[in-house]
Amino acid sequence: MFIRVDETGHSLNQLNIVNTAGQIVYSNKELSGTDLEIDLQHLPPGIYIAQLRTSHSTLTKKFLVTKQLYCIAR
């Protein structure tokens, strides 16, 4: 997952990813800058909510994790 804050003067401060049961499955409270890339391969498929705090606001976005299965024909 890649996150970029495009607002001038804003920077990332904290990111929580929450599952539909309300459990925090990822948290990073020591962010800085405007770009963040995180590996979510460990998460099972499902719906999640990203709670992102910037230096000026809090954003909440829903997203979907899917797994791709590859079939190799013989």
What 8-state DSSP symbol labels residue 21? T
Look at the chain and report how many structural domains it folds into.
Answer: 1
- What predicted TM-score, i.e. pTM, was given to this entire model? 0.73
| CA within 13 Å, CB half, 45 | 4
How far out from the chain centre does Cα 63 lie? 8
Residue 55 lies in a domain: yes
Instruction: Please state, in angstroms and rounded to a whole number, the distance separating the CA atoms of residues 9 and 18.
Output: 27
- For the cut 60, the answer to whether the pLDDT of residue 71 exceeds it is no
Residue 11 lies in a domain: yes
Residue 9 lies in a domain: yes
In 3D space, the residue among 53, 48, 73 whose CA is nearest the CA of residue 63 turns out to be 48
Single-letter residue type at 16: N
Domain range for 31: 2-65
pLDDT at 6: 60
Q: pLDDT tens digits for 18-66?
A: 999 999 999 988 776 667 777 888 889 999 999 988 878 888 989 988 8
